[in-house]
Chains A and B, each alone.
Chain A
Amino acid sequence: MQIPLALQFVNLLASMLLLIVFAMLAQRRILSLINLFAWQGALLALSTFVVAYTTAQHHLYYSAALTLLLKVIVLPWLLHRLIRKLNIRWDVETLLNIPTTMLAGIALVIFSFNLAAPISQMSQGITRGLIGIALASVLLSLLMMLTRRKAVTQVVAFLSLENGLFFAATSATQGMPLVVELGIALDVLVATFIFGIFFFQIRETFDSLDITHMEKLKDD
């Protein structure tokens, strides 16, 4: 079974995407987390570009450029500005310890690879193996949202989840219509702005960004 070199390259990028999600899961520092998110965006843009080149779908070029602009430059910049304004650079607190989270992550990867296997059997495309990786990175991002305590890291996890979905869309099914992609990009951008406002509100109310404070009901 010999697949073309460009597709092998997409496979490699997909594996690196998965690796980055794992690195985010293991990351203790919020600054590095955001940098990893930027790298994830860069990989996503590159893989979209390669898919666009190999399948000669021109709208995917725009989508790659959009990813590059939004997820590598604008969103990380916004997040950096946010944590500078909120003055949170300390280490991320996790609910589970990191090695346990990693083991849970491996279990999730096995689960999603198994789950994706029958789906890939049905599809004819040669990129079908990528569905499993995209699903795994979505589930790992979900795991990150579950195990993190701070609101900022949860938002980064949410954005990374969106990256996973986007990767599934571009690589496995060769892209959505441009209008849909533009809409999603706008959504993510707006969501980040709104999250930013939320952060300030949360901090003003609870004096902390630790979302466990929200579970307590006020008595007064």
Chain B
Amino acid sequence: MNNPHLILAVLFQLTQLLLVVLAAPMLTGWVNQCQAWLQNRSGAGLLQPYRVLNKLFHKDAVIADNASWLFRITPYIVFACMWLAAAIIPILAVDLPFSQAADVIALVGVFALARMFIALAAMDIGTSFGSMGARREMLVSFLAEPALLMVFFTASMISHSTQLPGIVEALAHHQFVLYPSLAFAGLAFVIVLLAENARIPVDNPSTHLELTMIHEAMILEYSARHLALIEWASSLKLFAYISIGIALFLPYGIAEMGNWAGLPAAIVLLVGKLALAGAALALLETVSAKMRIFRAPEFLGTAFLLAVLGLLIHFLLGA
């Protein structure tokens, strides 16, 4: 790789990083807006998450007396993990320099790292809500993670690569083929996405009802800039997950590295896909009811089953 090429690649990478971190709250706002429309409310608008972040950044942080350094450092680690994840995923263009650093298995590891820290920080203060939320989060995630890995393995088997750019390249630039195994993996991925991002059948992101919340219970003790970072990280996580979904199942139209001319088209297409995915997510959340926490293992077991079936069908049919 010669020098100008490298600079160009880094520029592309930085563009993607900046765009993702700025656009992530907008996606959350869009999902909330769609939900509001579906519930016959007028909604708070696309920019509401930015206003919330702005408000939180201008407040003074209140931290419990017995909080350790772990509690303080966790928001930064979580935010960094999610941003790193967004850097690995080919969102705007394939073959970015950073994506060579980690494959899909490492990506799952990055998500796991953030989750571990947030669970530890929730238990750090020693309130009952925090540890309850941490326990529930771990219950959900240890069931969701194998399913997510199986989804990635199915895509890797098809494209003979565990690198996300390799997978996207293999799926996007070949002749159109119907992959039944990918359809199964896609269904499993939707379930994992709902569970991991604390969306409705598993968790309710807008509730503060103590018996039902998972994610919110863990971050109850956070305030001001810490809370802002965690909220932003949640938006980034949702953005990252939806981008993984797009990369695996709808990769058509992604820009080539160094192709500045193709970038506007890629961005327009990406915005369209994200808007569609966000609306679909809102619709899914509106039509489904929150399930009991003890039904969640069965729900996630279904995801694992679907992903394994996809893998088996790939072996049988070769597609």
On A, residues with C-beta under 8 Å from B are 1-3, 5, 8-9, 11-12, 14-16, 18-19, 22, 26, 98-99, 102, 105-106, 109-110, 113, 116, 129, 132-133
Contact = CB atoms under 8 A, between A and B. Distances in A.
A134 B190 CA distance: 27
B305 A106 contact: yes
Contacts of B317: 11, 14-15, 129
A102 B313 contact: no
Contacts of A109: 309, 312
A98 B305 CA distance: 12
Contact of A19 (B309, B315, B318): B309
Nearest to B177: A8
The list of the 10 closest CB pairs from A to B, nearest first, reads A15-B180, A8-B178, A129-B317, A12-B180, A132-B316, A113-B316, A11-B317, A129-B316, A12-B178, A15-B313
B312 A110 contact: yes
A122 to B, nearest CB: 16
B184 A15 contact: yes
Contacts of B302: 26, 102
5 contacts: A3-B319, A12-B178, A14-B180, A98-B298, A99-B297
Nearest to B310: A15
Interface string B175-205: 1011011011000000000000000000000
A171 to B, nearest CB: 12
A1 B318 contact: yes
Nearest to B302: A26
B301 interface: yes
B298 A99 contact: yes
B111 to A, nearest CB: 25
B305 A18 contact: no
Chain B interface mostly: helix
B318 A129 contact: yes
Contact of A15 (B181, B297, B298): B181
Contacts of B313: 15, 18, 133
B308 interface: yes
A12 B301 contact: no
Given A99-B297, A110-B312, 18 more contacts: A2-B177, A8-B177, A12-B180, A12-B183, A14-B180, A14-B317, A15-B181, A16-B180, A16-B183, A99-B298, A99-B301, A102-B305, A106-B309, A109-B309, A113-B315, A129-B317, A132-B316, A133-B316
A18 B312 CA distance: 11
Contacts of B297: 99
Nearest to B315: A113
Contacts of A102: 301-302, 305
Contacts of B308: 106
Nearest to B181: A15
B251 to A, nearest CB: 18
B231 to A, nearest CB: 34
A106 B297 CA distance: 17
Contacts of A15: 180-181, 183-184, 309, 313, 317
Nearest to B318: A1
A22 B304 CA distance: 13
A5 B176 CA distance: 9
A113 B301 CA distance: 21
Given A15-B181, A132-B316, A2 B175 contact: yes
B316 to A, nearest CB: 5
A44 to B, nearest CB: 16
B178 A11 contact: yes
